[in-house]
Structure 1
Amino acid sequence: MLQEGAHGKWTVSSSDESTEENSESEKPSTSSLLHAAPARKSELQYPCSEARKAAHKRKASPLKLGDKVFSTERPPAEKQRTTQEGLGWCLSSSDEEPEDQGKTTHKETLKEEKCDAPKEHPLNLCKDGDLSVNQKDEEYDESEAQDTWDLLNGGNPFRFFLTKVRGIERKYNTGALHIKDILSPLFGTLVSSAQFNYCIDVGWLVRQYPQEFRKKPLLIVHGEKRESKAELLAQARPYENISFCQAKLDIAFGTHHTKMMLLLYEEGLRVVIHTSNLIAEDWHQKTQGIWLSPLYPRLLQGTAGSAGESETNFKSDLVSYLMAYNSPTLKEWIDLIQEHDLSETRVYLLGSTPGRYQGSDKEKWGHLRLRKLLKDNASSIAAQESWPVVGQFSSIGSMGADGSKWLCSEFQDSLVAAGSSGANLLKCDVPIHLVYPTVNNVRQSLEGYPAGGSLPYSIQTAQKQLWLHSYFHKWSAEISGRSHAIPHIKTYMRPSPDFQKIAWFLVTSANLSKAAWGALEKNGTQLMIRSYELGVLFLPSAFGLDKGYFHVRGKMLSESKDSATCFPVPYDLPPQQYESKDQPWIWNIPYTNAPDTHGNMWVPS
């Protein structure tokens, strides 16, 4: 069946057309696993999405332009759909590993053979003998180390960082962090840590800790079930110091998508909220975001737990978020947070937790939480009603038959809550700019087409919402030198019409989906959320700015502006709308007309 819109044309079989709003390709059943073929060299060693597996396969077995390819008309995600009930799969359209998110449940036993571009020229083809991603990552810290202590205490009042990217000019990595920087002894003498995440390579994670910290207690908070859970636990078997907390996911298609580190030191406590999975690829050549807290000192013994609160209520909100897991395993970390002084925090915590919420509980999570924070804390700005909203993300869920179903109704109402003054503007009066990479963005990236494995927008979802693509804008980040580092970061903000100011900025794990942000039910009396998500909201008032906005640090900004009032938006403003030839990246269809930066095609099957 031919599907055509302003920004794309695809041919799909009728078997791919699903009426299920959150339909996904299934994880294999237990019986199929019993008869599965042994793991091959090209397979991943940790649970991941179908899109990530396809990207890994293409890296291991690249297809050159002109190679004979069979069966390229049908996307690979045509597996027979069966009922989800009782299978225990944690699936969701909410995250970067998602519309067809079945994670692999095979136990891989062979060496990782990932092949990326050589360090000296990231766009070169990968040749026999080149270092693997993990091997390169091991020497990354030595070759590009910097004084992270000076970085942390320098001119970054927002404590918002990007991850380091291999293959770009060194100046663009100034002020950026790698996971090894975050876990460095320069930040403190580690006592124990907790890692909250979605996709986790345990062996790789352990190697990111300095040698002297690798046997310290490590808690991994995850959402895996059944075979995937068994696989994760098997990865950790060699490490006696690792324990696990399984997040409860009682609503279908939900995921544990939060990405957070809790780091306890002899000197205090630190919280890190970021956008990267705990796998080598996410810290290698992608644009990711990090918020790094100050070092929180321990309160005097006997001080009440309510002490050490910030003006943003970060401490109590973080405790409430952890309590939502309803897990005895997290009680120790809740107590530790209570024992520390978090008063220096200047950001607001914004989380999602699975459930159906009514009454005042509706405002605790998801987009209604954002709506309340903006109404209660954002400053009023003249004529702000006409300011646009910008969303930037790496995956997209089902939005419905048109914008009125969610995007331009309840979700937009939350994004424009601040400064509305009760005005009921027509929806078209508030422009919505959605930043999502084009096929050419991916093709011309440092990783080439395999970068699209972390952008799992599927044909099954895209074909049902061609209306959405008229809102799309290209990924462009020349100002940060990262136009060729595909974004896995997710950000939302409200800029002025000239894009020189922003009223607020949010960095979060939440992609553009109802599963992540929540959707109203029962005539608006109930909010239903499927997934765990976490982010931090930056408001000018929390940084002592009484004008109600940050200046944007970028091309249009005079260098005379005070850096303390200039927010480092990580991509170019204003966003560039898709042209007629542009198509959004869709992971599970082939691209064989033009080679990527490694001279390869994309055939995901």
Structure 2
Amino acid sequence: MSQDSQHGKWSVSSSEDDDDELPPSGTTSKPPQATHSKNTSSSASNTESIAASAGVKPEPEPSLAVGSEARRQAARNQSNPVKFESPAAGKRKVEASDGAGWALSDSDDEDDDAEKKKMSNAPVRKPASPKRKKANVEKERPPSPHGRLYYIDEPDDFFESGVPRLDDTFRFYLNKVTGLDRKYNSGALHIRDILSPLFGTLKGSVQFNYCFDIAWMVEQYPADFRDRPVLIVHGDKREAKARLVQQAQPFPHVRFCQAKLDIAFGTHHTKMMLLWYEEGFRVVILTSNLIRADWYQKTQGMWMSPLFPRLPQGSSDTSGESPTFFKRDLLEYLASYRAPELEEWIQRIREHDLSHTRVYLVGSIPGRYVGPDMERWGHLRLRKLLYEHARPVPGEDRWAVVGQFSSIGSMGADKSKWLAGEFQRTLTTLGKSSLRPDPPVHLLYPSVEDVRTSLEGYPAGGSLPYSIQTAQKQLWLHSYFHRWQADATGRTHAMPHIKTYMRVSPDFTELAWFLITSANLSKAAWGALEKNNTQVMVRSYELGVLYVPSAFDMKMFTVQKNPFPFSSSSSGFPVPFDLPPTCYSPKDQPWIWNIPYSQAPDTHGNVWVPS
């Protein structure tokens, strides 16, 4: 569906996480083939070598990214970029908007009909169609502000890894990012590190995710483990499912489990690995899709469990439980899929000792829940945990809520509809305190300038699918926005796909709790109350882990100021962005993925003109 506005032609988003505007899972088209490398010839040879080792002829080399329309647009722009062309002196191009003034309505509460009328009366401006040029040759690339090494793929030692420190307290890690100074990758992990023999002799694995490039995923496994069974848990239906299965044809060791999505507009957004070794069992809960782009130049996060040993034979069903009841909750989460393919993995978890786990599991499972079941999933699950395990603090009305995410759903005509109502009540819960404070709320989301100057340039915005249609309906939200800044971690220019929420002290030195999750800022992910607050409806699968100081025998977490080498030692919690957050200036605009930006080039000398 396309419409014309003063911004030119734009298309309705079918993004990974956008709420209430998505078609049901399976109707969002994903191309049958995928690549996420700038060097497609190298990727092709790698795919062929993997398939050859499996004795199967590989499918043709993909040409477009899998995933949402935003991601596919980003892939198209990277493979066939629109070069920036300076306007003639004294003249301003008016054919394509730079995004300024995208907020068409001045009224926060204006109804949809009025907005549509305004849009229909707005002057129609067609986007410019600059001549497309290939930018694959080194000499055609503009100088990079990030240094000459920016355009070089991962160095030979990029994937070298050591086992994380044994005294690691929080087991929270960032991903490695190509193009950053080596010190800013110290202590970070790539997917190849996670799957490395250094962590165990792999016997089989399960990959829960939203977006897959099967050939690339298989390549990340060490050669010795590349034929070990892999179960893919996904939410694709119909044509999208058929394309996913087609991707796996060269790899007979890859099987599938389709997650049930019975509520419209929901997605299977959970990102988790179950890794079964000869030596034990491990769980990894993360924010990255299984595509190269998510492990290349984006900031991602993960929790990696200890290696869980096998319980002695004959142990009871309640053996190996942790003080946080992580084992019970993980088994309940997996059972909620109602999938025969997961039964053997449920049994394997029962047979292992998870007692050293110190985090709480916070998941979302699609459904409508009433009574006690309302607190099983979504933000009401988080509220219950904070009520039972977080500690009240003096002056808690001054302890800020900080949320950071990569996509935003539709939340209503004003803040009271969901964000400042039920969701804020959850995020401000601290123990059994009866206070219902109205603390500062800082929402970190990249501005247009953040995206433009990032390592990837404008295509980084393909992973930030906030659409113009949604943004126009909730202008009130943008007063909450703060810049993505991560100078302390060296990652200001690696756009975030990580999602975190936390409660922080007025001086930004202590945390009352910290959550890393797949859940973006949307009702689909977190759930929304219905029927006079007697029912909660959740659309999507999500998963994260909650850190509460009491589980670590601490009163509060201290914010670690200089987190590199990045290891979550007992000296402090490594928050992956700068504190305090920096509010948008009057000139800053939130990144909107489906309008053009052509008045200034990105770090590759290109502009953004959605088709």
**TM-score of the superposed pair, with normalisation by structure 1:** 0.82
Residues 126 and 571 of structure 1: CA distance in aligned 2, closer, same or farther (over 3 Å):
closer
In the alignment, which residue of structure 1 is the partner of 2:198?
186
Structure 2 match to 1:98: none
Q: 2:606 matched to which residue of 1?
A: 600
- Partners of 1:116 and 1:508 in 2: how far apart? 39
- Provide the secondary structure at the position in 2 that maps to 1:564: coil
CA distance 1:31–1:197, change in 2 (3 Å): closer
Residue 215 in structure 1 maps to residue 227 in structure 2: yes
In the alignment, is the contact (CA less than 8 A) between 1:189 and 1:266 conserved in 2?
yes
* Residue in structure 1 matching 2:451, options 442, 461, 464: 442
Question: What are the residue-to-residue correspondences of 1:3-82 with 2, within 5 Å?
Answer: 11=7, 22-24=20-22, 43-44=63-64, 46=66, 48-66=67-85, 72=96
Provide Cα deviations, 1:203-234, integer angstroms capped at 9, x if missing partner: 00000000110110100000000000000000
Letter in 2 for 1:144: F
Give the alignment of 1:306-317 within 5 angstroms: 306-317=318-329
The alpha carbon displacement at 1:551 in A equals 0.8
| Structure 1 residue 524 corresponds to structure 2 residue 533 | yes
* Identical counterparts, % of pairs: 59
How many residue pairs align between the two structures?
533
Residue 194 of structure 1 contacts residue 263 of structure 1 at CA under 8 Å; is this kept in 2?
Answer: yes
Paired AA for residue 602 in structure 2: D
Q: Is the 8 A contact 1:389 1:431 kept in 2?
A: yes
Q: Which of 296, 302, 315 does residue 314 from structure 2 map onto? A: 302
Equivalent of residue 590 in structure 1, options 580, 591, 596: 596
Q: How does 1:351-366 map to 2 (within 5 A)?
A: 351-366=363-378
Q: Which digits, 9 at most, give the CA deviation of each residue in 1:492-518, with x for residues without a partner?
A: 000011111110000000000000000
Alignment correspondent of 1:417: 429
Letter in 2 for 1:496: S
Q: Matches of residues 69-468 of structure 1 in structure 2 within 5 Å? A: 72=96, 123=144, 136=153, 142-149=156-163, 152-419=164-431, 421-425=433-437, 429-468=438-477
Aligned to 1:534: 543
In the other structure, the counterpart of 1:82 is: none
Residue identity opposite 2:533 in structure 1: G
Is the partner of 1:51 in helix, strand or coil? helix
Q: Cα offset for 1:435? A: 0.2
Contact 1:389 1:493 in 2 (8 A): yes
Distance 1:27 1:320 in 2: 24
Q: Deviations over 1:538-579 (max 9, x none)?
A: 11111111x2x1111116x9x9xx950410000000000000
Separation (CA, whole Å) in 1 of partners of 2:311 and 2:61: 51
Residues 464, 270 of structure 1: CA spacing in aligned structure 2 closer, same or farther, 3 A cutoff? same
Aligned counterparts of 1:16 and 1:192: Cα–Cα separation in 2: 40
**Alignment gaps of 5+ in structure 1:** 1-8, 76-112
In 2, the alpha carbon distance for the partners of 1:325 and 1:415 equals 27
1:378 Cα deviation (Å)? 1.0
AA of the residue aligned to 1:564: S
Residues 467, 592 of structure 2: 8 Å contact kept: yes
Helix, strand or coil at the partner of 2:70: helix
2-side partners of 1:320 and 1:27: how far apart? Answer: 24
What CA deviation, in whole Å up to 9, does each residue of 1:89-141 have, x standing for no partner?
Answer: xxxxxxxxxxxxxxxxxxxxxxxx996999x99938999xx88xxxx46xx5x
2:579 is matched with 573
Judged with a 3 Å threshold, the aligned counterparts in structure 2 of structure 1 residues 74 and 445 are, in CA distance, closer, same or farther, namely closer
Is the contact between residue 142 and residue 604 of structure 2 (CA under 8 Å) also seen in structure 1? no
When residues 121 and 283 of structure 1 are mapped into structure 2, their CA distance, relative to the original with a 3 A threshold, is: farther
Instruction: Using the TM superposition, give the Cα deviation of residue 431 of structure 1 relative to its aligned residue in structure 2, in angstroms.
Output: 1.1
SS in 2 for 1:506: strand
The amino acid of 1:339's aligned partner reads E
Match of 1:507 in 2: 516
Would the aligned equivalents of 1:42 and 1:56 in 2 still touch at CA under 8 Å?
no
Give the match's secondary structure for 2:577: coil
C-alpha contact 1:550 1:565 (8 A) present in aligned 2: no
Q: Distance in 2 between matches of 1:567 and 1:116?
A: 43
Q: Aligned-residue CA RMSD in angstroms? A: 3.4
- Alpha-carbon distance, 1:421 to partner: 1.3
Secondary structure of 1:240's counterpart equals coil
- Aligned residue in 2 for 1:91: none
Aligned to 2:42: none
1:498 corresponding residue in structure 2? 507
- How far did residue 72 of structure 1 move? 4.5
The alpha-carbon deviation at position 523 of structure 1 amounts to: 0.4
Question: Which amino acid letter does the alignment assign opposite residue 285 of structure 2?
Answer: I
CA distance in 1, matches of 2:355, 2:206: 21
Change (3 A) 1:246 1:481: same
Q: CA deviation at 1:379?
A: 2.0
